[in-house]
Structure 1
Amino acid sequence: MSDLPQVILFDIDGTLLSTGGAGMKAFYSAIENNYPAQLKKCGGSLTLDMAGSTDSGLVIEIFAALGIEDSATERESFFAEYLQCLKNNLSDPSYTGSLMPGISELLDRLSYEANNGKLILGLLTGNIFAGAALKLKKYRVDEYFFFGAYGDDHHDRNELGPIALKRGGSYHKLELTGAPVTVIGDTPKDIYCARAMGAQAVAVSSGSISHQELANYDPDLLFKDFTDYEDAYRRICLG
């Protein structure tokens, strides 16, 4: 059994919080604002499968659909527009976002253990770093997270786990190779990501994917939400 602390990596959208559609709308607004002519040629709209995707992966998909050459400059331009739209939307009261049920209490419980050296909390999210920071600050959970892996680190979510562990090790001045790792998310892609790094896969059906559909992917643990946060803590951390 490892003497290293358990590393718990949280997804953001659908797991920690919902922006009430502010994030999704910001993405589509950035497409409309930056590429109106190309969008018109494609029939005026695009449909994106955002659940569990990385922002970089979505941009690759968008550029391919619109016939736009993928480059660092083009990505920078797109994400600058996206972040401005996201800032505007997060300050718009018509988007009624919130933390997911039980998340505030669960984070407090986990943070208590983290302060005692038993756990390490981090992020593993498809959001780009700046977008993640805006969302976490808006819903006042930024204080719990000091490192993570993000959608601008790699377009493939399955590549983000080792990045998160490396950053967690650097932040906490620990070698985390061999540490027990848990990935918590609300989509099949989160489960796949956990499997890719040999982590415990914890799924929660608080997002857009149904409880039964998530069950079909055989996560190690499956919750409807974290309302019973003490039960969630015991099952996730104590086995």
Structure 2
Amino acid sequence: MDVKIILWDIDGTLVRSNGGRVAVNAFLRALCLSCQLEHELPYPYDSAGKTDPQIALEILAAASIAESRASQALEAFAEHYLMELKRQQQALITDLRVLPGVSEILEVLTQRGIVQSLLTGNLEPVARFKLACAGIEQYLDFDLGAYGSDNADRSRLVPIVRQRLQRRLGPDASQADIVVVGDTPRDIACARAGGARAVAVATGNFTKHELEAHRPDVLLDDLTDTHAVVEALLQYSSSLESRQAPIV
């Protein structure tokens, strides 16, 4: 059985903020509520590619919240975060911008019968809500994806996708061709850790040069050239020993 699945990162890959801080403010508000804090919390600069639980724990550690208390607060945090996003839904819809070329690529891959899902640090309910607000949720099989709510360690997420593929399609799916598409070095490292192919796209906070240093299998400026990107996703193959990334 030949199984291929494309796993998309969300923030910086499929969508970006138009400059607002709707999601960030909701995140911080949810942390305050979950820990019953009255003072404001800082948001870390280096959050790109991290999972939501990882970011939450780092923020709380920086605020001198005991590790045991912070860990206990994570479940409540997840509920409050989604609630805060829903409360600000219209502002979030206005703030989210689907990146150029994304809708076209998702549509073409869907027409070709390629399974697409997510590999993201977002909590699963948040991922679903964000992409519904962005209007592109119809292209994605959310049940096969892996999320920050599955494991705070991003490097452990590809095996979770393999397990979900096997449960749905049988043991042969363990050899599925998995392609991870993301905009940070952590996306590349995650793909490597899980035996997946890494496609890096310089649409986030990292330049093409910075991403190239991490040797992805494919390196893209952006997703605007639908034909070239689709061909790169579907046709490019590499051995695990060869890491010279074709630049598209």
Task: Pick the TM interval, shorter chain.
Answer: 0.7 to 0.9
Contact 2:116 2:140 in 1 (8 A): yes
SS at match of 1:177: helix
- Which position in structure 2 is the counterpart of 1:17? 15
> 1:197-236 alignment to 2 at 5 Å?
197-236=194-233
Q: Relative to structure 1, is the Cα distance of residues 100 and 24 closer, same or farther in structure 2, using a 3 angstrom cutoff?
A: same
- Which position in structure 2 is the counterpart of 1:105? 104
- Which position in structure 2 is the counterpart of 1:77? 76
Code of the residue aligned with 2:2 in structure 1: it is: L
Code of the residue aligned with 1:26 in structure 2: it is: A
Q: How many pairs does the alignment contain?
A: 230
Residue 181 of structure 1 and its aligned partner are, at CA, apart by: 1.4
> 1:120-159 alignment to 2 at 5 Å?
120-146=115-141, 147-159=144-156
Between 227-236 and 160-169, report the one with greater CA deviation: 160-169
Residue 104 of structure 1 and its aligned partner are, at CA, apart by: 0.2
Q: Relative to structure 1, is the Cα distance of residues 94 and 151 closer, same or farther in structure 2, using a 3 angstrom cutoff?
A: closer
1: CA distance between counterparts of 2:191 and 2:100? 23
Runs of 4+ in 1 over 6 A off after TM superposition: none
SS at match of 2:49: coil
1: CA distance between counterparts of 2:151 and 2:186? 14
> 1:38-77 alignment to 2 at 5 Å?
39=39, 45-66=42-63, 67-68=65-66, 69-70=68-69, 73-77=72-76
Residue 173 of structure 1 and its aligned partner are, at CA, apart by: 5.1
Contact 1:10 1:123 in 2 (8 A): yes
2: CA distance between counterparts of 1:76 and 1:191? 28
TM-score (norm 2): 0.83
2: CA distance between counterparts of 1:126 and 1:56? 8
Contact 2:124 2:147 in 1 (8 A): yes
1: CA distance between counterparts of 2:211 and 2:202? 7
Q: Relative to structure 1, is the Cα distance of residues 151 and 70 closer, same or farther in structure 2, using a 3 angstrom cutoff?
A: farther
Residue 214 of structure 1 and its aligned partner are, at CA, apart by: 1.0
Contact 2:49 2:185 in 1 (8 A): yes
Residue by residue over 1:119-169, the C-alpha shift from the partner in whole angstroms, topping out at 9 and shown as x without a partner, is 321211100011001101111211122221110110100000010122233
- Which position in structure 1 is the counterpart of 2:244? none
Residue by residue over 1:77-96, the C-alpha shift from the partner in whole angstroms, topping out at 9 and shown as x without a partner, is 22222222222334117953
Contact 1:122 1:164 in 2 (8 A): no
The one of 230, 235, 238 aligned to 1:238: 235
Identify the structure with bigger relative contact order (alpha carbons < 8 Å, sequence gap 6+): 1
1: CA distance between counterparts of 2:43 and 2:81? 16
Between 208-217 and 60-69, report the one with greater CA deviation: 60-69
- Which position in structure 1 is the counterpart of 2:27? 27
2: CA distance between counterparts of 1:202 and 1:184? 5
- Which position in structure 1 is the counterpart of 2:95? 96
- Consecutive unaligned residues of structure 1, counting only runs of 5 or more, are none
Between 171-180 and 52-61, report the one with greater CA deviation: 171-180
Residue 38 of structure 1 and its aligned partner are, at CA, apart by: 7.5
- Consecutive unaligned residues of structure 2, counting only runs of 5 or more, are 237-248
TM-score (norm 1): 0.86
Identity of aligned residues (%): 34
Q: Is the aligned partner of 1:160 residue 2:126?
A: no
Residue 62 of structure 1 and its aligned partner are, at CA, apart by: 2.5
Code of the residue aligned with 1:85 in structure 2: it is: E
